[in-house]
Amino acid sequence: MKKLVIIGQGPAGISAALYAVRGGADVTVIAKDGGALAKAELIQNYYGFENGIPAALLIERGVKQAQNLGVKIIKDEIAGIGFGENGYLVKTMSGEYDAGAVVIACGVSRNVPPIKNIDAFEGKGVSYCAICDGFFFRGKKVAVIGSGKYALSEYGVLKNIIEDVTICTNGDAPAFDAAGVKTDTRKISSFEGEGNISEIIFEDGSRESVNGVFIACGSAGAFELSKKLGLEMAGNKIAVNEKRETNIPGIYAAGDCTPGLQQIAKAVCDGMIAGTEALKFLKANS
């Protein structure tokens, strides 16, 4: 049976892992941290804990439960999801993982900077996927917007096919070794252009001509991964059906990154369904 890769180790991701691994799947969970839940304190509205439970402890117990059943837990930052020889290829900052199916359960964050006109130029020079769209900018000048490892990863992809690439940190200090990397730390005010983007306007009034801009702020969350794959969206969340299937076969989504209440109980239910359906998909396609 092909492998299942789950992105996110919150209640949705771990629930999906538990159901899939008990059904015989080879399951790997990849997550940078505990997500939004890890920032909460005491959880008092989840079944079975009469005095509540600290969020960090709930995450820890879930992860250990999955590990005890044979789930591999990898702490890493996701760079993207692509199509691979065995179905899909989940890329992290330090490796690549083949997957016959993928469950996206990494929350709802949309790492889009509040830059004027950014939405107006989506698909008109503003992209969220270097691997997908870099080819169209060969011989041109582009910028990557971001200051972390994700931005550096997208920069590396683009430099393989485009000579003139700059990382614009939008006023932030680079969270990577900037040696040998063309970097601009000025704060961005807006994007401008006639039809397609043609300029970055900085807050100090200066301008920089560009043919394209790649957004890579923070880490790649559900929104960024969806953009890369071409998943159907419902606002800033991933559209799914009752089986938690997306519009791409073999790709499932669960938890806060899908429409509905952002609650642990809902996330666990989503994960159960996504894990079960992903298992069925793997068995049918192995």
Task: Give the pLDDT confidence score for residue 112 in this predicted structure.
Answer: 83
What is the C-alpha end-to-end distance of the chain, expressed in Å?
A: 5
Give the 3-state secondary structure of 227-266. Answer: HHHCCCEECCEECCCCCCECCCCCEEECHHHCCCCCCHHH
Tens of pLDDT, residues 182-211: 999 999 999 999 999 999 999 999 999 999
Which sign does the torsion angle of CA 172, 173, 175, 176 carry? positive
Task: Give the pLDDT confidence score for residue 202 in this predicted structure.
Answer: 97
Task: Give the pLDDT confidence score for residue 235 in this predicted structure.
Answer: 82
In contact, 144 and 154? CB cutoff 8 Å: yes
Q: For residue 248, is pLDDT > 80? A: yes
Q: For residue 115, is pLDDT > 70? A: yes
Tens of pLDDT, residues 9-59: 999 999 999 999 999 999 999 998 877 787 777 888 899 999 999 999 999
Task: Give the pLDDT confidence score for residue 153 in this predicted structure.
Answer: 87
Query: Length of the chain in residues, anyone?
Result: 286
DSSP three-state, residue 183: strand
Q: For residue 143, is pLDDT > 90? A: yes
Task: Give the pLDDT confidence score for residue 109 in this predicted structure.
Answer: 63
Mean pLDDT value across residues 60-89: 93
Task: Give the pLDDT confidence score for residue 138 in this predicted structure.
Answer: 93
Which of 33-47, 146-160, 213-227, 264-278 holds the top average pLDDT?
A: 264-278
Query: What domains lie within the chain, and their CATH numbers?
Result: 4-109+220-284 (3.50.50.60), 126-215 (3.50.50.60)
Tens of pLDDT, residues 76-85: 988 889 888 8
Residue with tokens 């969270």: 175
Task: Give the pLDDT confidence score for residue 167 in this predicted structure.
Answer: 97
Token pair in block for residue 91 = 């890329």
Mean pLDDT value across residues 98-126: 89
Q: What letter represents residue 231's amino acid?
A: L
Task: Give the pLDDT confidence score for residue 110 in this predicted structure.
Answer: 58
Q: How far apart are CA 149 and CA 151, in angstroms?
A: 5
